[in-house]
């Protein structure tokens, strides 16, 4: 599976879900099922490739600007961000949720995280039909395991292809994207206006 094939699965799954029209109990469950159905019948090495591309996209989104958007949506201040992102690693959930939006939206948000406020998915989040912090980071491993693969073997194979274990936690905050709860609205005005004092 190449990167284009990875995004075909993601984009087709997103289109099938239509921002909230699904039968599962939660958006994360619906996305995981859609990915699993899109990968049905694929050999185990191809599922590993899916996991590799997934982690590479999470790595691309591991930036201070994307981190700032996640902090704004989580609400609160530095203590809450530490609890959400360093201890519970919700930043990985946020980045995985950006991947779930599909290739076009993913690239838009990476270029300008404030643009997340203008995506149709923001409407779905307000309705409760979508989530910007879906717990999807283990979905590729679970899909591989359901197909008969070994979970530890999957993690080792993905890490080997990546040249190391995937990065978790948040990026450094030095430089122009050093932020606190007071400066965030000025850095991400559209997102702050759309989700004031958010705690999604």
Query: Stretch 114-140: mean pLDDT, rounded?
Result: 91
Highest mean pLDDT among 10-14, 71-75, 89-93: 10-14
Q: Comparing 39-48, 132-141, 164-173, which segment has the lowest mean pLDDT? A: 164-173
pLDDT for residue 119? 93
What is the per-residue pLDDT for 176?
A: 57
Residue 2: its pLDDT value, please?
Answer: 95
* Band of residue 175 on the pLDDT scale cut at 50, 70, 90: low
Closest CA to 22 of 105, 175, 157, 131: 131
Query: What is the percentage of the chain residues whose pLDDT exceeds 90?
Result: 58
Triad 6, 10, 14: Cα angle to 5°: 170
Tens digit of pLDDT for each residue in 145-154?
999 999 889 9
pLDDT bracket for residue 163 (50, 70, 90): confident
Whether residue 84 has pLDDT greater than 70: no
Total residues found in the chain within this entry? 200
Whether residue 136 contacts residue 25, with contact meaning beta carbons closer than 8 Å, is answered with no
Q: 45: exposed, middle or buried (C-beta count within 10 Å: 0-12, 13-18, 19+)?
A: exposed
**Nearest one of 154, 157, 156, 171 to 59, comparing CA atoms:** 171
| Integer Cα distance of 156 and 108 in angstroms | 31
Residues of the chain with pLDDT > 70, as a percent, come to 84
Region 37-59: mean pLDDT is: 96
In angstroms, what is the C-alpha Rg of the chain? 17
Mean pLDDT, the chain, rounded, equals 87
Query: 90: Cβ–Cβ under 8 A, 6 or more apart, which residues?
Result: 70, 74, 84, 133
């Amino acid at each position: 599976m190449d990167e284009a094939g990875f995004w075909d699965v993601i984009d087709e799954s997103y289109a099938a879900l239509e921002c909230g029209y699904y039968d599962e109990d939660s958006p994360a469950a619906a996305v995981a099922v859609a990915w699993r159905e899109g990968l049905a019948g694929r050999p185990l090495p191809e599922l590993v490739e899916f996991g590799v591309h997934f982690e590479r996209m999470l790595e691309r989104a591991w930036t201070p600007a994307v981190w700032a958007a996640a902090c704004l949506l989580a609400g609160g201040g530095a203590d809450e961000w530490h609890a959400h992102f360093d201890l519970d690693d919700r930043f990985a959930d946020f980045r995985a949720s950006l991947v779930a939006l599909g290739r076009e939206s993913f690239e838009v948000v990476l270029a300008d995280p404030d643009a997340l406020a203008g995506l149709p998915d923001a409407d779905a989040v307000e309705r409760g039909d979508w989530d910007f912090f879906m717990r999807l980071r283990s979905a590729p491993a679970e899909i591989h395991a359901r197909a008969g693969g070994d979970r530890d073997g999957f993690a080792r194979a993905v890490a080997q292809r990546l040249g190391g274990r995937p990065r978790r936690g948040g990026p450094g905050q030095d430089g122009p994207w050093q932020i606190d709860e007071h400066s965030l609205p000025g850095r991400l005005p559209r997102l702050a206006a759309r989700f004031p004092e958010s705690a999604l």
